[in-house]
Amino acid sequence: MEHDQRTSALGKIGEGIVMNYLIDKGLKPKVSTDYWDPIKDIMLYDKNNNFLGNVEVKSHVPFVIYRAFTLELNQLKKCQEADYFLINQIPCSALNESAIWQIHKGFKYYKKFIIKDQVHRWLIPMDQEKVTKVAPISKEDQINLIKFRKDYNGKN
């Protein structure tokens, strides 16, 4: 499967996981139908249909040696401006954990050059006050995330 197809599939799976989480919390999420929407993945409403804010969703294998989530450089502003920013942690052989994390406004981040990929990325340390684990991810959803994750060092 091509990289763009894998990324798109992973995005849809991740949005579905977060949608289910939000519904379980008694909220009414609605997916943005504009694929190129630069602001949000999901619009969030309460049970009375009052708009609560825009939700940005990412699904990533953490950068294990730094215990951090990564973002492409062009994604930082979108994530900072979202009312709610959630990351699905995808398990890997080096860190066999999976959860939904909420990244709160004012989170710390720094730029790092990733030698293997020859690119710069923003790193968001997982061990900070503004990054909280909010829910587990089911085994079934973990399996679906693993199917489409990026292959690091030839290991899944």
For 44, 47, 50, 113, the CA distances from 88, given in Å and listed in that order, are 18, 24, 26, 23
**Helix ranges, 37-138 (H):** 76-81
CB 89 within 8 Å of CB 81: no
Confidence of residue 154 (pLDDT cuts 50, 70, 90): very low
pLDDT of residue 60: 92
Is this prediction's pTM over 0.85?
yes
User: Where are the chain's structural domains?
Assistant: 3-148
With a cut of 90, say whether residue 128 has pLDDT above it.
yes
Confidence at residue 56, expressed as pLDDT on a 0 to 100 scale: 95
Question: pLDDT grade, residue 3 (50/70/90)?
Answer: confident
Q: How do the residues of the chain divide into helix, strand and coil, expressed in percent and rounded to 5?
A: 30, 35, 35
Closest of 118, 46, 110 to residue 83, by C-alpha: 46
Q: Find the helix packing angle between 139-148 and 3-24, rounded to 10°.
A: 160
- Which band of pLDDT confidence, cut at 50, 70 and 90, is reported for residue 152? low
155 vs 78: CA distance, rounded Å: 30
Tens digit of each residue's pLDDT (9 = 90 or more) over 41-55: 899 999 999 999 999
Does the pLDDT value for residue 68 go beyond 60?
A: yes
Above pLDDT 90, what percent of the chain? 72
What's the mean per-residue pLDDT of the chain?
A: 91
Asked whether 135 and 100 are in contact (CB, 8 A), the reply is yes
- Cα–Cα distance list, 137 to 10, 80, 86, 98, 140 (Å): 14, 24, 13, 6, 8
Tell me which of 27-31, 99-103, 110-114 is least confident: 110-114
Give the pLDDT confidence of 78-88 residue by residue, as tens digits: 999 999 999 99
Please state which CATH number belongs to domain 3-148: 3.40.1350
